[in-house]
Amino acid sequence: MAEQTIGQALSEAVARYGEREAFTYADRRLSFRDVDAESDTVARALLGSGIKRGDYVAVWMANHSPWPALYFGALKIGAILVPLNTRSRPDELEFALVNSKAKLFLFKRETKGRTDYGDVLLDVLPELKHTRSGALRAAKFPELQTVVDIADPPMNGTLGFAAFLERGKDVPAADLATAEQAVQPRDEAVIVYTSGTTSAPKGTQLYHEGMLHSVRWSDSCIALGANDVYFSLQPVYHSGGAIGAMLRPIVDGCRLVTQPYFDPGDALAVLEAEGVTVMSGLQPHWVEYLNHPSLPQRKLKVERAFVMAPPELLWTIYEKMGIEGLVTGYCMTETHLYGTNTTLADSREVRYNTNGRPNPDVEVEIRDPDDGTVLGREEPGEIFMRVPHPMLGYLGEPQLTADVLGAGGWYRTGDNGVIRADGNLILLGRVRDMIRVGGENLSGAEVEAVLGAHPAVKQTAVVPAPDPRLGEIVVAFVELKPDARATEAELIEHCRARLSNYKVPRAVHFVTAWPMTGSGKVQKRSLLETLA
């Protein structure tokens, strides 16, 4: 198949499916033609705002119905979408805006739990309090020209969504067509921020054809087609949303059903009401479904599912929810979610107990993490992967990019695994300092940096602890400075004010001595053994 841009893929889907429903949101239902027309309107508004191919456009919003228009509108004209984590605290939001040099920022002011999006944004952009609508000047963000509030009425200092769309009314159709024709399949499309072994998140640069290629293959693994109703709660700031959710209707003609925020009871009701046939979810989602009191009463039609969870949970989903067609895999944002997969053709034992075989044109090697020696079948070591569509790099981080994308295009995953005698991969854990909380990757170093900024803290180390619902949670070990005082609750609150909730330690253990390696580093394996 010839390489495509996402705009071209949308045009083909519109020609094929027209008025059929493509996206189902809590407040709206959108046909393929609706998405095309509304994304054209957004694309013109972006052009009318001075946005051109290669410019970064940040969006900070949960899974609300304007997303398809914003997503496809930006990508049609070659702008680069920067979806931001809706749980971002001010420091995290500021980092992403500085790193991406976004020229336009769209958000929806709403209150979720204790978080008011507008209040968080004002911590980052206090200039909005004294800014005339659409005329922002911010010293920290010299490239940022306009902040658009999708909520009605818009927040003071921001441009309303209707006023933003008005900017495109005088943009000729010929200008839009010219902008679309200039976009290439290997152009950068989306930045997904992912935590790594450094304290700051990394902006993974993804491109059009890499994203489409991944979806085409993963959908074939589960036989997703135009007659399916697909349910996903993955937010667009997550690669599972930016790639897997937003593109599946365009690639296969299925209908995507989603919700802005996760509530297991509401989700189960939607699964039943919408006749969902295929769904996806991370470990916490499935644990909540399995334990929800309404599950036995639900008449679900789900036949197949993507499940990213340990083997024991896949078996439980099959036994308690009756979903036999479960597939899983192993991939990462840096490979456009392309890697290994099980398929419906595999036996139940393979589908539930392994992470599958390499996708077409993917090579997987297990190497000794110390000397790089390639190991054989049944020998555990670090997973290295070579894919046809690796990321373009980490935005503004050439050295970090070179650290993981080595000679010959081999990506160093930082994960431990073993290839069974039958060629199927089994993921064993992480080599690098990563913690995965409810499907979200975070860096232990990031949490350590925040804890280390507390005036009473001398040294700290952060490790994962197993959790039946979230998979892992963050636990901190802390040594206080001589004569300093701090309580567990005080340090947790210190983190809560500066980090997204999933990064906040659930427990703090105080120590006065550390297990050390021969090179003078804290031996985190010993700390994990202490927890066990």
Whether 314 and 452 map to the same domain: the answer is no
Residue 267 sits at φ, ψ, to 5 deg, of -65, -45
Q: What is the residue whose two structure tokens read 């008011």? A: 116
The pLDDT score that the predictor gives to residue 309 is 84
CB atoms within 10 A of CB 347: 10
Residue 400 belongs to some domain of the structure = no
Q: Which of 202, 236, 268 is the last residue of a domain?
A: 202
Strands 440-443 and 434-437: antiparallel
**Whole-angstrom Cα distance, residue 96 to residue 84?**
8
**Whole-angstrom Cα distance, residue 480 to residue 456?**
6
CATH number of the domain at 482, please.
Answer: 3.30.300.30
CB 10 within 8 A of CB 39: yes
CB 339 within 8 A of CB 410: no
Question: What domain range includes position 96?
Answer: 28-202
Whether 228 and 96 map to the same domain: the answer is no
The pLDDT score that the predictor gives to residue 197 is 45
Residue 4 belongs to some domain of the structure = no
Whether 127 and 239 map to the same domain: the answer is no
Whether 375 and 465 map to the same domain: the answer is no
Which amino acid belongs to residue 136? Answer: L
Closest CA to 203 of 278, 92, 116: 92
CATH number of the domain at 126, please.
Answer: 3.40.50.980
Q: Which of 149, 173, 202 is the last residue of a domain?
A: 202
Whether 80 and 112 map to the same domain: the answer is yes
Q: How many Cα atoms are found within 13 Å in the side-chain-facing hemisphere of 523?
A: 12
Residue 7 belongs to some domain of the structure = no
Closest CA to 37 of 176, 136, 218, 146: 176
Please calculate the CA angle 484-487-488 and round it to the nearest 5 degrees: 135
CB 220 within 8 A of CB 276: no
Q: What is the residue whose two structure tokens read 């309404």? A: 294
Whether 189 and 221 map to the same domain: the answer is no
Q: What is the residue whose two structure tokens read 């500021």? A: 94
Closest CA to 83 of 111, 102, 65, 98: 102
Whether 421 and 475 map to the same domain: the answer is no
Residue 85 belongs to some domain of the structure = yes
Sequence-separated (6 or more) residues with CB below 8 Å from residue 490: none
Long-range contact pairs involving 154-162 (C-beta distance under 8 Å, separation at least 24): 154/109, 155/109, 155/118, 155/121, 155/128, 156/128, 156/129, 157/127, 157/128, 157/129, 157/130, 157/131, 157/132, 157/133, 158/128, 158/133, 158/134, 159/133, 159/134, 160/133, 161/66, 161/106
Whether 193 and 215 map to the same domain: the answer is no
- Give the count of domains, the chain: 3
The pLDDT score that the predictor gives to residue 199 is 55
Token duo for residue 266: 């509401």
Residue 398 belongs to some domain of the structure = no
Q: Which of 138, 167, 202 is the last residue of a domain?
A: 202
The pLDDT score that the predictor gives to residue 519 is 44
The 3-state DSSP class for residue 394 equals: strand
The pLDDT score that the predictor gives to residue 144 is 95
Whether 230 and 340 map to the same domain: the answer is yes
Task: Name the β-bridge partners of 522.
Answer: 516
CB 147 within 8 A of CB 136: yes
Left, alpha or beta for 361 (phi > 0: left; psi -120 to 50: alpha)?
Answer: left
Residue 402 belongs to some domain of the structure = no
Residue 269 belongs to some domain of the structure = yes
Whether 175 and 236 map to the same domain: the answer is no
Q: For the chain (length 532 residues), average pLDDT per consecutive 10?
A: 95 98 97 98 98 98 98 98 94 95 97 90 93 82 95 94 97 97 98 72 96 96 97 95 97 97 96 98 89 94 93 92 96 96 97 96 93 92 96 96 91 92 90 80 84 91 92 94 94 95 96 71 81 80
Q: What is the largest CA-CA distance in the chain?
A: 71
> What is the model's pTM?
0.88
The 3-state DSSP class for residue 478 equals: strand
The 3-state DSSP class for residue 165 equals: helix
Whether 380 and 456 map to the same domain: the answer is no
Whether 162 and 215 map to the same domain: the answer is no
Residue 13 belongs to some domain of the structure = no
The pLDDT score that the predictor gives to residue 432 is 66
